[in-house]
Chain A
Amino acid sequence: MKLELRGITKRFGSFTANDSIDLVVEPGEIHSLLGENGAGKSTLMNVLYGLLQPDEGQVVIDGERVHFDGPGDAVAAGIGMVHQHFMLVPVFTVAENVMLGYEYTKGGQFLDHAAARQQVRRLSERFGFDVDPDALVEDIPVGVQQRVEIIKALARDAKVLILDEPTAVLTPQETDELIAIMRELKQSGTSIVFITHKLREVRAVADRITVIRRGKVVGTADPGTSEAELASMMVGRTVQLTVDKQPFAPKGEVLQVEDLSVRDDLGRTVVDGVSLDVRGGEIVAIAGVQGNGQTELVEAIVGLGEDISGSIRLQGKQILGLNAKEIIDLGVGYVPEDRSHDGLIESFTVAENLVLSQHDRAPFGSGLLYHPAKVKARANELVGEFDVRTQGVEATAGSLSGGNQQKVVVAREMSRPLKLFVASQPTRGVDVGSIEFLHNRIVAERDHGSAVLLVSTELDEVLALADRIAVMYRGRVVGVVDGDTPRDVLGLMMAGVPEQDARRQAAEQGPTALTVQDEEARQ
């Protein structure tokens, strides 16, 4: 099946998310759609999948123009999609999820579970998935959930499979497995649209690459194109991911974490005996695939965790057991990973957000009294200092772009004297210009003598900023290594391989599918 998008334009109000995009997916090819966050990839795919109606342009299948009123039409036309956030009903079984909307019935309306089970078994055997049709989706790991999504698409006879950022939640090894699955699907004649912003994966698996930026196609490339070239197509200028920074000059111990364990509200151990220390004037980055305990570790440190054992000391003082407020008052700044959920109140003004944690401290509040004029004056200073692009400090935070929202959070946290600065995914969903600004501020904070703990799932960011790197896997710290450790060693450690073994394996095996390009990039 040949799929073409011709001149697709999609506007939201005065904002154009897709600007006359053309895209051709040949039968049996893996076509990668590469672009930054916010470039318009997901919007385009939602148009293709019938979730959004384009304002202009058309979808053409095998030379015939088609019109999708909803996803049902797209599915009927042979298009399947694995969404970035899985579209599975957690309280349903795998079989129920697979048949939803495409039910097997007997006696008219009654569900035929046996047939659904059979279908799941057949497809998972064919592609070597180990999926139990009767397991509840909420009980199975993320990697398996992704396979359920793929089965769901295949059960509907998908000829074109759209994978939206499928590797965001996978370890490098699981990513390799997914790449194998993609190749197998391609062998059996399924075309794949692979949406990502990860350059290495694109080069490892794609037959063709289309790069989009700010809603427009900026070019196509073949997998041989160098990473640097792809990156500059993607962001529109030569990117410099390395930040200029002075060699680090650590002072005394600031944060000492010893034998820390955290259990989640379901009683599972998510952080398992972690020990870690961060000195003043140094950036320690925690690397790892999303969901390996980084979030919970950080929340424990800033006083937001619940079921915690072990020890956390700040300049020798035990802070485990203190609440968030007390820890903030001790001089700990925190940028949470999910900005709009935990970092900001979108319906509050920029000014109010800038004092969220300080509103009852002088000069903004005294006792029960709150002083809006002082809040506003301070906000005007900070907006200037941190280059927050806003209509004014009385504008709501929700009206700002992602990068500017993040600057508000960072400005708030850095606007008071800090001993420890903790930043989780500080540049996620942020435009390139703001990334550079934020990176520079983080380095400045380090140079100022603060201890900085950075959590990032982006190896590029980790390698650009870290003085030391702690790699987490399944709640444990696999090892703490220097900031200039090779990428392939870190990749193996992120999959749970201890440092020594990782270094040996990396040397023995030579470059893997993913790291080979890393070498090229260095040359």
Chain B
Amino acid sequence: MGRLMQFEGRRLLRQTSLYICLGILVLMVFVSAFSTYSMVKLMGEDASTAIMLASGLSPGDLMCGKGYLISAAGSSSLLMLFGIAAALYFCADYTGGTLKNIIGRGNSRSSVFLTNQAYVMVMGLIFGVICWLSGLFFGSLFWGLGKNWDVSAILRQLLLQMLVMWAFGAFYSFWSVLVRKTGWAVALCILTPGLISTMAALLDIFTTKKDFLVSNYWLTSCLTYASTPGAGAEDVSRSILVALAWFILFCLGGWLISRRQDV
């Protein structure tokens, strides 16, 4: 297992697409901060009001290094780029035929899946950290660091973001191990999170119990709560449980599929 970890680790770190996706992520965070900055500069009070109405937060909470540190992960580009990189990483062994060399020399399907899953989590951590740092950097660059730093609250939200990212990582691994084709896996990883969100939102419309929202039990909502500065304790607690449940479910599903697959 140690050699497999070393082998897969080298593969991850030498995956060009990982660096390309990370580069695009940094660029997207910059574009997001810059466009908000330009909009506020051009429109003045109107833009601030619009931001307040859209997020329910004061512009001061959002438009600063602290605000962008927490909220940068909420952009759809993070999930999309992480999904692409994870699918490319996971499917490379299937499409290149290298899985034959790995399994054929005595590595079990379970250990291969778990190692890959572990590295998708590492990838999630890399994406998360880069996203936070670039959010903090560009937010501070345009508006300054921000006031009232409640470090423990920020850490709690960032940890929740990471948990949700790992649950998404398990979701991407699940699709990759199921379809085993790079193109399909990338497409599914990009499209399905949004598709499930839309379906959940549609179900919410038809739900009679107004205190129960289906969409609250899908990962996208969890990430929204995790990346909203000052999110409520109840939402955060529920998001932790939901993310954990999906993480376990997708890991288990992917592992069961991989165990019975011919290579």
A binds B: no
Binding site for A on B (CB under 8 A): none
